[in-house]
Structure 1
Amino acid sequence: MAAGGSTRTDRPGTNGHAAAPTPPGDAPVRQASLREHNLGLVLRHVGAAPRPPSRADISAATGLTRATVSALVDDLIGGRLLTEVDPAPRTGAGRPAAGLVLAANGPAGLGLEINVDYLAACVVDLAGTVRHRIVHRADQRPNTPAEVLTGLARLAAAARSAAGAQALTLAGAALAVPGLVTDAGLVRLAPNLGWRDVDVPGILGDHPALSGTPLTVDNEANLAALGELHAAPPGPANFLYISGEIGIGAGIVLHGKLFRGARGWSGELGHVPVHPDGPACRCGSRGCLEQYAGQEAILSAAGLAGHGLSPDAAVAGLAELADAGDAAATAALTSAGTALGVAVAGVVNLLDVDTVVLGGVYAPLAPWLRPAVEAQLRQRVLTAAWSPVRVRPSVLGGDAAVVGAAGSVVRAVRDHPARWLTVLA
């Protein structure tokens, strides 16, 4: 991986446009390309195996010769991507072979998140295990972008230190931001933060905590959706992930791939108008979904705004009140769920996803939001009578974006281990 800069590794081209396809048979396969492919094949096989496979197991599963597998495994072990483990006891004849697992002390991903009322950082190892996590809860709206990013860099420095103490090496960093982000990492607009045209890589690039570390900047709902897709157990192949915070974002997954739209700006569900003549929104429009189902709107409707509670405490208190049958709390959640269901029904009719995942603060509030969402889907989705849409809370809950960000880094290593080996050489 080249150090520095900001790219979107899962998009085909610097301007969001796919490169012209190479005609079949016109691109020769070089020996180096074949080795790169096979390194990834072996590493992914080990990562997906239900038990530690031996070299012979990998050879049998992939069709590669034992000699080729042995050479590739040696390279992956030398690059701290694989580790040998003691073989399981064997009852038959012959010496049991050592198994292989993803290295616990090799490359890791640094996930970072900026949201309206908190900053977060986490470190995820090659196997997807969270090895460090820290959240700083404070309203970021009064701060300038430079001040917010300086605070985030402090979390990144602490995360880097924690990774080093566990013999992990950061392969890269990914930052989740609640707004429209270009391929170059420029935040065009983050309405709930009041940001416009903020050059995040330019501000963060020279900070010691991130200097020399490849940095990707992306929309927080997109990274959360990717985290949900690759969580254990894996998410469905087609789903709408909804990130419920002060703002509302959505990540769209179709056929196991994140759908970004022509310019990479899909998923702004929070600014779908529910009532065109409704209250003014921070985006400049009126009657947006956020004004009815955003975190602050729900808490205000439940009578919990302005009590000096932290957002976490307020949401937890709302859940407790709803569980006790409090009328104001249940009415606020039902109203929010109804507005959310109206907006989501339009997405389902358009894209034909079969699952809706409630993330962010919606995850702990799902028991009270879901009935109203489902009622609107039954009423408004054309195919609901014979193909109901499943509505469920996020597996990763409020950590989906920051974990998804870190996970995107380690997946890049697992998909293209030759790049990591080149960095180490």
Structure 2
Amino acid sequence: MTLPVRHDSMRARNLGVVLDAVRRGGPQTRAALAERTGLTKSTVSKLAGDLIEAGMLAESGPARAGERGRPGVEVVLSGDRVAALGCEVNVDYLAVCLLDLAQRVRFTRRRGQDNRGKPAKRVLAQLRTLAVEAMAEARRLGLDVAGAGLAVSGPVADGVLLTAPNLGWRDVGAVDLLGLPVETTLGNEASLAALGELWFGAGGQDFLYVSGEIGIGAGLVVGGELFHGTRGLAGELGHVVVSPDGPRCRCGGAGCLETAAGQEAILTAAGDVATVAELLARLENDDELAVKACGEAARALGIALTSTVNLLDLDRVVLGGIYAPLFGWLAPPIERVLADRLVKLRSTPPTLTASQLGGQAATLGAAGLVVHQVLADPTRFLPR
């Protein structure tokens, strides 16, 4: 039996259709929106009026200034009313980002600190302090925070961080402990960073995003959509074995990629360098030990990526996290490994690029997730 569609459900869907059309197509007249969406001009006009009143769209001026006749007025996404909050807790920092509906960053804050071995409740309370600061800035700007995304360095399910070996956390109710007064969505850091690259970077519609931090994660984007896996646990590239007889990993295994190409492994191999900034300075001065450390990490990463490319038939790999500033030293040896190991199966290895989002990829992805939820269903933010 086919059930009738409720009027309010149809209106909610059509509002989302109009917003998404503006997001994808940029400034458009109501007539152009009617043609693009298949809705009638009168319906589009009414929906656009409601969205303008709600502060989600704004009129940007005549579409054909200077032409004869009465030009149509274009509408664009407006960032003057609704915003989203992106939060991240990683091994050695906390970060927040405030993003408006037009996908402009309105506020960021990042605090470097070692979170290993600290109680999750305490660390998430510190993150909440940064989030509250961001929400106060939103109020000052006249923005309503629609929701929050929380990025964590480990696999997640149903609002729970299942395990984070580098933090020493297991089965942590991260959303509840963060305790924000808005609906909060929990996600893996690398997966959300991949979404950040998709929406704000230059990854394209199909790519593998590799997040190099103290741990190593990955997010796979296929056809413009994040691949989650059967249980939402896809992307644990850091625990792909690259040397079966290698050192023990915090996950309990041995020879994982993380032990050879994670941030700590590289800094230690470079001569117990304290920070990535110091490592970069040594690399720029052609320090032999630093160059060797990056080369060894790159070869291990190349081996892991070879298996991934063989399995998934990838054409693009984006390196993020600390791998982005180290790209100039990592890319050549990675590309050599890929070329040597893939030559019999592929005419060319995948394109390797560095993320341009810096340390904001995960928080941008977390906030962008909420923005896209609002764009899909804006009804709860419309005036009653």
- TM-score bucket (shorter structure): over 0.9
TM-score normalised per structure 2: 0.95
Residues 109, 172 of structure 1: 8 Å contact kept: yes
- Hey, what does 2:213 align to over in structure 1? 245
1:390-405 correspondence to structure 2 within 5 Å = 390-405=351-366
Distance 2:326 2:338 in 1: 18
Q: Classify 1:273/1:167 alpha carbon distance in 2 versus 1 (closer, same or farther; 3 Å).
A: same
> Offset of 1:360 from its aligned partner?
0.4
Q: Classify 1:115/1:383 alpha carbon distance in 2 versus 1 (closer, same or farther; 3 Å).
A: farther
Distance 1:341 1:253 in 2: 20
1:303-342 correspondence to structure 2 within 5 Å = 303-305=271-273, 309=274, 314-342=275-303
Distance 1:186 1:37 in 2: 30
- Hey, what does 1:8 align to over in structure 2? none
Aligned match for 2:311, one of 341, 345, 350: 350
- Hey, what does 1:291 align to over in structure 2? 259
Residues 254, 353 of structure 1: 8 Å contact kept: no
- Hey, what does 1:49 align to over in structure 2? 25
SS at match of 1:33: helix
> Offset of 1:79 from its aligned partner?
1.8
- Hey, what does 2:57 align to over in structure 1? 82
Distance 1:30 1:399 in 2: 41
> Offset of 1:45 from its aligned partner?
1.7
- Hey, what does 1:368 align to over in structure 2? 329
| Deviations 1:257-293 (CA, angstroms, capped at 9, x unpaired) | 1111111111111111111121111111111111110
Aligned match for 2:371, one of 396, 401, 410: 410
Q: Is 1:33 aligned to 2:2, yes or no? A: no
Aligned match for 2:194, one of 204, 207, 225: 225
Residues 118, 137 of structure 1: 8 Å contact kept: yes
Distance 2:228 2:346 in 1: 29
Residues 145, 195 of structure 1: 8 Å contact kept: yes
- Hey, what does 1:115 align to over in structure 2? 90
SS at match of 1:357: strand
> Offset of 1:27 from its aligned partner?
5.3
Structure 2: gaps (5+ residues): none
> Offset of 1:92 from its aligned partner?
2.0
Distance 2:138 2:343 in 1: 50
Q: Is 1:275 aligned to 2:243, yes or no? A: yes
Q: Is 1:185 aligned to 2:185, yes or no? A: no
- Hey, what does 2:381 align to over in structure 1? 420
- Hey, what does 2:34 align to over in structure 1? 59
Distance 2:345 2:145 in 1: 46
Residues 231, 395 of structure 1: 8 Å contact kept: no
Distance 2:143 2:344 in 1: 49
- Hey, what does 1:11 align to over in structure 2? none
Residues 343, 349 of structure 2: 8 Å contact kept: no
Residues 109, 170 of structure 1: 8 Å contact kept: yes
Residues 201, 355 of structure 2: 8 Å contact kept: no
Distance 1:285 1:264 in 2: 21
Q: Is 1:196 aligned to 2:170, yes or no? A: yes
SS at match of 1:86: strand
> Offset of 1:419 from its aligned partner?
4.0
Residues 378, 384 of structure 1: 8 Å contact kept: no
| Deviations 1:401-420 (CA, angstroms, capped at 9, x unpaired) | 01110111001111222343
TM-score normalised per structure 1: 0.86
> Offset of 1:232 from its aligned partner?
4.8
Structure 1: gaps (5+ residues): 1-24
Which has the larger displacement, 218-227 or 36-45? 36-45
1:122-133 correspondence to structure 2 within 5 Å = 122-133=97-108
Q: Classify 1:330/1:232 alpha carbon distance in 2 versus 1 (closer, same or farther; 3 Å).
A: closer
Distance 2:71 2:257 in 1: 60
Amino acid at match of 1:375: R
SS at match of 1:124: strand
| Deviations 1:225-248 (CA, angstroms, capped at 9, x unpaired) | 111111254x22221111100000
| Deviations 1:357-402 (CA, angstroms, capped at 9, x unpaired) | 1010101111111111111111223666414201101131221001
Q: Classify 1:27/1:324 alpha carbon distance in 2 versus 1 (closer, same or farther; 3 Å).
A: farther
> Offset of 1:56 from its aligned partner?
2.1
Q: CA RMSD for the aligned pairs?
A: 1.7
> Offset of 1:31 from its aligned partner?
3.4
SS at match of 1:230: helix
- Hey, what does 1:147 align to over in structure 2? 122
Amino acid at match of 2:307: G
- Hey, what does 2:150 align to over in structure 1? 175
